């Protein structure tokens, strides 16, 4: 059974169809990356799963149970975490305070304290700087903090929207190492990325999205250098513009 499954999802912005019958799945301990030009519908896909944009048809299932009827806070509580494209740390709070904010749904204080210790063991850099203001961290460190914060709810699936966006190459490598760490912890990871080669190198499977549809799906290593990927990119370059990246 897949940890996260999307079936025939359709979504629109202002009467303009962005997603058209999108179906994909992510297994436990697997990274699936969706690639495609700006305007292809990649970010809209993640937002739709988390009910941040309206959509008309389809299903979203977590471990076989439908969650598409739930509000975003209940989707998070059910076990799906979402790290948006733009930075979401609380810049005037410390690293420790940001992590505590990630555990606001965990009402058992002992359980939350245990998860905090586990997260700090996974991310020793954050533990060493727990008193530092989040706004003073580098872009890559902030992204690490965002990902670490999602683990406080112990999600079954994590969705990442452009985790390497705007980062220097050295920091990009660190972010993808963090994504691999999530996989090693048994998480199902659904990632949207523009850095095609590095994203696919870190993934198990990849999907190419064009004009709101999944046009190609294969093992990630087979997609690296696959001429079909280049053809889909070139064929959609002029058509993909505007919202719905």
145-188 tens-digit pLDDT: 999 999 999 999 999 999 998 888 888 888 899 999 999 999 99
Given a cut of 70, whether residue 242 has pLDDT beyond it is no
Q: What pLDDT does 234 receive?
A: 57
* 3-state SS record for the chain: CCCEEEEEEEEEECCEEEEEEEEEEECCCCEEEEECCCCCCHHHHHHHHCCCCCEEEEEEEECCEECCCCCHHHHHHHCEEEECCCCCCCCCCEHHHHHHHHCCCCCCHHHHHHHHHHHHHHCHHHHHCCCCEHHHCCHHHHHHHHHHHHHHHCCCEEEEECCCCCCCHHHHHHHHHHHHHHHHCCCEEEEECCCHHHHHHCCCEEEEEECCEEEEEEEHHHHCCCHHHHHHHHHHCCCCCCCCC
Given a cut of 70, whether residue 232 has pLDDT beyond it is yes
Given a cut of 60, whether residue 241 has pLDDT beyond it is no
Q: pTM of the predicted model, to two decimals? A: 0.90
Q: What pLDDT does 229 receive?
A: 87
Assigned CATH topology for domain 4-236: Rossmann fold (3.40.50)
| Residue boundaries of the structural domains of the chain | 4-236
């Amino acid at each position: 059974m897949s940890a996260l499954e999307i079936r025939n999802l359709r979504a629109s912005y202002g009467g303009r169809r962005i997603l058209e019958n999108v179906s994909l799945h992510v297994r436990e301990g697997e990274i699936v990356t969706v690639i495609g030009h700006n305007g292809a519908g990649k970010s809209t896909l993640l937002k739709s799963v988390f009910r941040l944009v309206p959509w008309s048809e389809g299903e979203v299932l977590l471990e076989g149970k439908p969650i598409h009827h739930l509000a975003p806070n209940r989707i998070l509580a059910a076990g799906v975490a979402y790290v948006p494209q733009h930075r979401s740390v609380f810049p005037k709070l410390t690293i420790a305070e940001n992590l505590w904010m990630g555990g606001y749904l965990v009402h058992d204080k002992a359980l939350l304290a245990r998860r905090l210790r586990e997260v700090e063991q996974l991310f020793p850099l954050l533990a060493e700087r727990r008193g530092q203001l989040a706004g003073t961290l580098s872009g890559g460190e902030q992204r690490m903090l965002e990902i670490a914060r999602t683990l406080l709810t112990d999600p079954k699936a994590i969705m990442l929207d452009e985790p390497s966006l705007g980062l220097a190459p050295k920091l990009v490598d660190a972010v993808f190492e963090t994504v691999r760490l999530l996989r090693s912890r048994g998480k199902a990871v659904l990632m949207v990325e523009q850095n095609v080669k590095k994203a696919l190198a870190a993934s198990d499977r990849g999907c190419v999205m064009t004009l709101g549809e999944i046009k190609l799906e294969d093992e990630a290593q087979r997609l690296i250098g696959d001429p079909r990927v280049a053809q889909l990119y070139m064929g959609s370059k002029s058509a993909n513009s505007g919202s719905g990246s």
